[in-house]
A and B are shown apart, each in its own frame.
Chain A
């Protein structure tokens, strides 16, 4: 535990930038929207609001070539090469909900019977600097999903803004070695307590600040798991879905993908992986034309079962929703997860 001056944050970012490609929050200069993306240490902005895009694209890009092959007609030979990206990357200033999302993705791609090599390479040389939310944002509900406002684990370094200084905690050997090299002043127990107080205060601020979405998920998880939800409720929800896929795309923990082959002008074939969404009709259609989830309400409930049922939670070791509220931002229906929870709870209480 160390205490640093505010300016030292840049110093840390600069040091990381030398060894890693730096990813972090920045504010777009044209219209002021915040993104999490490749950024220089000079532009990374820890005070920026929660980025509108989750960091998922760093390890699981929207569109990515994962294999290339070329068929040599004369030699009757195929050249196949996997395409990996193992450039060292640092995720700088990750908020707790997004870090939790990353852990969910880890469990899907790495924690099951099958290990996804493409993903493993992305993730293999990564350094994570988390950033405690001492103030929540309008659409946040991580307090309902146990994923914030402060990171508990999974980071190499965690930063907390104490007002005029930052508290640094290390979460791994790698993080420890890195921070030790600076020779910063040690923090006291008093300052750790100060951090705890700030987190408690942040939690109480949800009531007034985070007013856009609330999702008291626990009762709903029970309902979703036991299946006691009336069909009309799913229909009400399903009717509002226009199948845009946005909820999956902006979700820090969604992992659906699609694989396609495309010919290049150079004469190769590339195998590309793209994001996909369970809301799409084509996603669950099986070869032969049978679609087990044809009606839209079934596809919709599939997503919420995935996010909120116990069986899924066993896989992620937590609910699939991390409380960032982004799906409510982007949904053309009004069925972001917080709303869905509200609709289901409304039914429970009626």
Chain B
């Protein structure tokens, strides 16, 4: 009887599984058949998660750079004295979107209460904040508006530029299932992804034009006077639509007006519709998310069963980590740090004032060479690439907290080990706001502390102990400070496959889909501008990030099967590849795996050709492999790369 129920913690789908556990080790995994989202399915990562949990590549002892292996007491003393010697503005905390809610809450509390800093942010978060901001500004609800569990209830499903069967395979599966049972599945993308192949309608758009395509659909609905004009800011939205060049939509985006009309009509006529887009590792811009969201407001697809504007996070607890206030300007539950009532609640509960100064994200601090950053605490960094490595190396103090060995730990002055998620209790909040409890299944043999406990121990050493007896007490504190988590407790969550927040005293069962008190259109921040190919640079180069995120993922490197699978392409194309259409390959005069030179205005790089039917003529696709040549090319375009999924660069391709 060694199968113990739990949650897969690789991605934001949050599939239910059973781990086969024997005392101190995990020997296998099996899907849960009754989990409301995954219903008996797991992806290649989930099916092999025991390989990671059983890895011996663990950090097992605290470590101090000057003196070698240490005990917790000394390492913590070193950490506390180092951090205490800097001003709060000079300290920052780099939280992990993999940590449990309890762990991240404890870290946030450590940063704000003990070390008085608002400099706390998440790794790999960029895109999701855009999505949350748009949804919050429009509905007051900072999370997926719909529900994964409701996918089968939607008549129309739209996937917007997301390789969902790679990033969140089981959500892809659910979409496929819905489509086969009668829903209309539409994919709008610049590449023929698997979900595009499984869709009833694939709309192939020019790279970087997602925003205008969604605006065009909105424009069409508005023109036909089919739309909901009662929501706030409708007039401004209408005015904005007038600035978008619809007359040249085909030239601009490659989409026929008839296709726009088709989507518009089906969307409006359907009783329910939901849209899915990537959010997180590389998401969409604020304005593109706003376009998608506004279309759904106009089409009357907010606040009804089966409806939803659904950002899909790649990493398991990215949503929960925002919920826990791991951002410079946020307290828990997306409460602004400037919100006087929220602030007062925290100060009352914690018995101390919250820091006053405006915090910055760690990325901002690292990127800006003149920032005051001196000391950085990093938790479970799982990016294979260490961004801003030079700055990191030159910081006077770096601490690393993590369960697994990691390149970043090598630069740390103090290393503190923690347990893996199955060696302690914790909750994780998946992409659809489902807070799921994962109970301890295994003792760790190395006597390392869970992170919530470690944070408490550090706080204690600094004279401000949290006094948590268990992770469930951390959750009780979260609930007391977070309106959307108000009723969540371990008791409520036990023997359940989670509840979706808001979960309040009035609503113990949680919330499947959001019914906002007030719906507003969200106005874009920047005018629309598409990147155009020119005679000199005739190809539009797309940068694939999320699809290949798992390649560079440090955690992945501690497994056998997933590692092999995610590296399979890399083995065929060791230096990365650039995918082009067969007709373009002919034009350029190259064959598969031939080298080419890719020239853009500001930089050039070498790449190996992959001939693929999945990319359209006139476009090229480079996965975001971290290989020297590509990295320096991307550096020259870092402003564009930061646009995430929509990053597009016009290039010329030369045979070498």
Contact = CB atoms under 8 A, between A and B. Distances in A.
B33 interface: yes
A333 B173 CA distance: 6
Interface string B186-199: 00000000100110
A332 B33 contact: no
Nearest to B25: A63
B131 interface: no
A152 B266 CA distance: 56
Interface residues of A, number: 47
A289 interface: yes
Contacts of A260: 560
B232 interface: no
A96 B389 CA distance: 59
Contacts of A245: 44, 47-48, 561
A331 B41 contact: yes
B18 A35 contact: yes
B169 A244 contact: yes
Contact of B198 (A32, A239, A244): A239
A14 B205 CA distance: 67
B40 interface: yes
A243 to B, nearest CB: 6
Interface string A40-71: 10010000000011000100011100000000
Interface stretch (A163-171, A280-288, A340-348): A280-288
B360 interface: no
Given A62-B20, A285-B571, A243 B495 contact: no
Contacts of A61: 27-28
Given A35-B30, A63-B54, A265-B56, A280 B198 contact: no
B176 interface: yes
A37 B20 CA distance: 9
A303 B60 CA distance: 42
A280 B565 CA distance: 7
Interface string B317-355: 000000000000000000000000000000000000000
Interface string B1-42: 111010000000000001010000001111111100000111
Contacts of A280: 44, 561, 564-565, 568
A239 B568 contact: no
B504 interface: no
Contact of B40 (A26, A264, A282, A330): A330
Contacts of B152: none
Interface residues of B, number: 51
A140 to B, nearest CB: 15
Nearest to A238: B197
B173 A57 contact: no
Nearest to A32: B34
Contacts of B197: 239
Contact of A334 (B29, B177, B561): B177
B43 interface: yes
Nearest to B44: A244
A284 to B, nearest CB: 10
B18 A33 contact: yes
Contacts of B34: 31-33
B51 interface: yes
B44 A333 contact: no
Given A30-B5, A31-B34, A52-B33, A329 B565 contact: no
B655 interface: no
Interface in B162-177: 165, 169-170, 172-173, 176-177
Interface of A: 26, 28, 30-33, 35, 37-40, 43, 52-53, 57, 61-63, 239-240, 242-246, 249, 258, 260, 262-265, 272, 274, 276, 280-282, 285, 289, 291, 329-334
Given A245-B561, A276-B561, 14 more contacts: A37-B1, A40-B1, A62-B20, A62-B27, A62-B29, A63-B27, A63-B51, A63-B54, A239-B194, A246-B47, A265-B58, A280-B568, A281-B565, A329-B33
